[in-house]
Structure 1
Amino acid sequence: MSLRLEWSNEQDRYEIEETLVGQLRLLLETVGQTEQVPNGEVALTFVDDEEIHRLNREFRDIDRPTDVLSFAMRESNGEEPDIVYQAQAQDEPEFEEMLGDIIISVPRAIAQSEDYGHSVERELGFLFVHGFLHLLGYDHQTPEEEAEMIGKQEAALQKIGLTR
């Protein structure tokens, strides 16, 4: 078992190349190892500003585009027991838990990469790790939480060589 990345591209502003997807898979494995999440599946969708604006308005009641959205599948509110899946037979593949969806606005990533003076690939990687950390339960409501998330994002990017 391992962490698996399923991705789709629903924008035409920037070509999503296999090398970028390879870097994102490596980031997923790196953060998964650091956070002790050895397996599961993440769905990543690249969209334009209009689509992320629509999703932000529909699901968060925020009427503006954003750079990344995360929708965790394993959020726990303490009211429902966790469902435990067990394989039926020895030769049956293990169930890969769906960790959630990450949606990235490619136009926002391009603009932010220009603002910060680094590559679009680095910005997409940063946003992807940010979204993945949200799927794992991290948040940035306080300065301490934000510093922790940024530190984890930067460490993962440094580890695979996506530096500024």
Structure 2
Amino acid sequence: MAINFFNEEIDFKLNHKAKLKTWIKNTVEEEGFKLKDVNFILCSDDYLLEINKQYLNHNTYTDIVTFDNSEKEDQIVGDIFISVDRTNENASKFGVSGDTELHRVIVHGILHLCGYYDKKPEDKALMTEKENYYLSKFKSLGS
């Protein structure tokens, strides 16, 4: 089992790495999966825009792009690209801390790997409910 964090085109220090890894592992297990290998690539808006264009043919800024590389249905393997520029901007817009918004986006990517979608309104509502649930679990882990 491996959870890795990388930076691309940004100088960013991730807080609470060990706690985040425990939380991610617990989330995956609670959803009924085994965590095998997940890479989080924290990057700039421009870096993620290029990923979005190259792999998804979307010419828009986004906060996250998730690639599911799982070969077995019960295992989680993936690469999750997160724009720290975008999460910080969204944190200001939503009146939350940068860490809180980053954590929401992290769990959002994990939930995608667990089979949740967010295109239809009912799917988005369930995704948000799950994000809120797991964010409360992160807070209850203590520091």
Report if TM-score (shorter chain) is over 0.5.
yes
In the other structure, the counterpart of 2:93 is 115
In the other structure, the counterpart of 1:61 is 57
2:127 alignment partner, SS class: helix
Matched, 1:51 2:44: no
Matched, 1:70 2:66: yes
Q: Compared with structure 1, are the counterparts of its residues 144 and 22 closer, same or farther at alpha carbon in structure 2 (3 Å cutoff)?
A: same
In the other structure, the counterpart of 1:24 is 20
- CA RMSD, 1 decimal: 2.0
Q: Compared with structure 1, are the counterparts of its residues 13 and 25 closer, same or farther at alpha carbon in structure 2 (3 Å cutoff)?
A: same
1:36 alignment partner, SS class: coil
In the other structure, the counterpart of 1:79 is none
In structure 2, the gaps of 5 or more residues are none
Q: Compared with structure 1, are the counterparts of its residues 147 and 102 closer, same or farther at alpha carbon in structure 2 (3 Å cutoff)?
A: same
Alignment match of 1:136 (pick from 114, 118, 131): 114
Q: Compared with structure 1, are the counterparts of its residues 33 and 144 closer, same or farther at alpha carbon in structure 2 (3 Å cutoff)?
A: same
1:44 alignment partner, SS class: strand
Q: Quick check: 1:66–1:108 contact (8 Å CA) kept in 2? A: yes
What displacement does 1:123 show? 0.8
In the other structure, the counterpart of 2:84 is 106
Q: What is the rounded CA distance, in whole Å, between the counterparts of 1:8 and 1:128 in structure 2?
A: 13
Q: What is the rounded CA distance, in whole Å, between the counterparts of 1:110 and 1:14 in structure 2?
A: 12
TM-score w.r.t. the length of structure 1 is: 0.77
Which amino acid letter does the alignment assign opposite residue 6 of structure 2?
S
Q: Compared with structure 1, are the counterparts of its residues 112 and 23 closer, same or farther at alpha carbon in structure 2 (3 Å cutoff)?
A: farther
What displacement does 1:24 show? 2.3
Q: What is the rounded CA distance, in whole Å, between the counterparts of 1:149 and 1:98 in structure 2?
A: 18
In the other structure, the counterpart of 1:87 is none
What displacement does 1:13 show? 5.1
Q: What is the rounded CA distance, in whole Å, between the counterparts of 2:51 and 2:10 in structure 1?
A: 18
TM-score w.r.t. the length of structure 2 is: 0.87
- Which structure dedicates a bigger proportion of its chain to helix? 2
In the other structure, the counterpart of 2:10 is 12
What displacement does 1:160 show? 1.7
- Which structure dedicates a bigger proportion of its chain to strand? 2
In structure 1, the gaps of 5 or more residues are 75-81, 85-96
In the other structure, the counterpart of 1:152 is 130
Paired residue total: 139
Which amino acid letter does the alignment assign opposite residue 8 of structure 2?
E
